[in-house]
Amino acid sequence: MTEILVTGATGTVGRHIVAALAASDAQPRALVRDPDAATLPAGVHTVRGDLTDPASLEAAVRGVDSVFLLWPGLPVVDPRVVEVIAEHAQQVVYLSTDVADLADGETAASYHQEIERQLRHSGVSWTFLRAIDFAANALRWADQIRQGVVRYPYGRAARSLIHERDIAEVAVCVLTASRADRTQHDGAKYLLTGPEAVTHSEQVRIIGEVIGRPVRWEELPPETARAELTAAWGNAAFVEGRLRAWQSFVDSPERVTDTVEQLLGRPARSFRSWVHDHADDFR
């Protein structure tokens, strides 16, 4: 039976991957910091490990065929992590982001670039899932949604946010491909998006409709948003990058691809579908 190590096994994407693998012929091995505290499907093999401690991965990765790698956005990318994985696994599916045209720098995207670079030179077969921002990022509005008004910048910024379950199902598709079919995924850089670009203000309207509560959008000036988001996120450079991106999506909507449909044989889930799945989080 094929064993697959899943990092981030209890997270937004990882928990769906573990559940799908557990229901298949594959055997998931869930990497967690505390196996006793992990809530996972019955029968899933949990192993203790931490990407901040490459030595802890030795036992976790020994004997596995493939690894789903999700990096937690650490400020230091220890190359020993990829080295340890490459010593044991034959395939790595890495959850990255849309980094093709981004320069190196002190942003979250630069970590993805560095890990991709390490994987490309590791000798292991790799596939990059370059996911556009998660629809789950809309949860940052939950408190404001409950109060009926969302104050945020660039309401006309059109985003092609993706449902985390679509990312998970694509990952499982690649991880469980037969050896004959795996070659089509080797070296692939899949850009994963939702099926359409939906503006910030339209997202808020959809959330209100689904939960049955009127919610209105209130445009927040960029300078005010800059101060508030920097205080909340603690990274001025990241905030500046986000504001620039959102501003660009006002005139040029975020890209939409059909990659999910090509790989899974059905369209990507809509933002409205994601809201239905998370409606209680906004109530």
Residues 273, 146 share a domain: yes
Write down the pLDDT at residue 191.
Answer: 96
In this structure, the answer to whether residues 212 and 242 fall within a common structural domain is yes
Cβ-in-10-Å burial (0-12, 13-18, 19+) of 31 comes to buried
Phi, psi of 162 (to 5 degrees): -115, 145
The parent domain of residue 140 ranges over: 135-163+193-255+269-283
Q: Are residues 86 and 217 in the same domain?
A: no
Q: Does any domain span residue 53?
A: yes
DSSP letter (8 states) at residue 106 = S
- 117 and 51 co-located in one domain: yes
Please answer whether residues 197 and 160 qualify as being in contact, where contact means their C-beta atoms are separated by less than 8 angstroms. yes
Q: What is the chain's mean pLDDT, rounded?
A: 90
Q: Is the pLDDT of residue 152 over 70?
A: yes
pLDDT tens column, 221-253: 999 999 999 999 888 988 998 999 999 999 999
Query: Which pLDDT does position 59 carry in this prediction?
Result: 87
Distance CA 47, CA 3 (A): 13
Does residue 159 sit in the same domain as residue 86? no
Residue 29 lies in a domain: yes
pTM of the predicted protein model: 0.91
Residue 125: inside a domain, yes or no?
A: yes
Is 273 inside a domain boundary?
A: yes
205 and 245 co-located in one domain: yes
Same domain, 13 and 108: yes
* pLDDT for the residue numbered 76: 58
Residue 47 belongs to a domain = yes
CATH code (residue 15): 3.40.50.720
The two structure tokens encoding residue 219: 């445009």
**Based on the structure, what is the number of domains in the chain?**
2
Residues 275 and 143 in one domain: yes
Does 281 reside within a domain?
A: yes
